[in-house]
Amino acid sequence: MKRGVKIKTVQIYNARQNKVAEVEKIEKSDADWKKLLTKKQYEITTRKRTESPGTCPFNTIHEPGIFQCVRCNTHLFRSSTKFESGTGWPSFYEPVSDLNIVEETDRSSGMIRIEVLCARCGSHLGHVFDDGPPPTGRRYCMNGLALKFVSEGQL
């Protein structure tokens, strides 16, 4: 740590270790993210674009594991909370922990929605709606390119 520079931290839940840890918040410039991500990942996670429905291979994944943030590996959703929403995007009824996501009002595209961001790096993940299945009634509609899947055996 540079003298006089305060490192920003955030509490994040680690699903593999089943514990909360204080970790450094990840802040990078758009130029840095552009170097680290594919063009489509950059457009979605940094410029808040949306991938075309039905194009994500995660729509067919049902094996046990965790969906993580593609930018910082934060654990976001368990595959056990994934469901078929009929939208063409991976959908989940709850995150691994409310600590790991941030929900903000999104007034873009002429509508009011709730945007979902990664709490550690600020990556745009998708949106959440109140039309999901029990037990939460919520539908976290995520861009597959904002996620990466790690099977239970690889955690």
- The secondary structure of 94-140, three-state, reads CCCCHHHEEEEEECHHHCCEEEEEECCCCCEEEEEECCCCCCCCCEE
Active site members: 141
pLDDT in tens, 61-120: 889 999 999 999 999 999 999 999 999 999 999 999 999 999 999 998 889 999 999 999
pLDDT in tens, 139-149: 999 999 999 99
Q: Which domains does the chain have, with CATH numbers?
A: 9-154 (2.170.150.20)
Q: Is the peptide bond before 135 cis (omega within 30 degrees of 0)?
A: yes
pLDDT in tens, 50-77: 999 999 888 888 899 999 999 999 999 9
* Model pTM score: 0.92
Amino acid found at 39: K
* Burial status of residue 61 (CB atoms within 10 A of its CB: 0-12, 13-18, 19 or more): middle
**What DSSP element (H or E) covers 45?**
helix 39-45
How many angstroms separate the most distant Cα atoms in the chain? 52
Residue with tokens 């808040």: 48
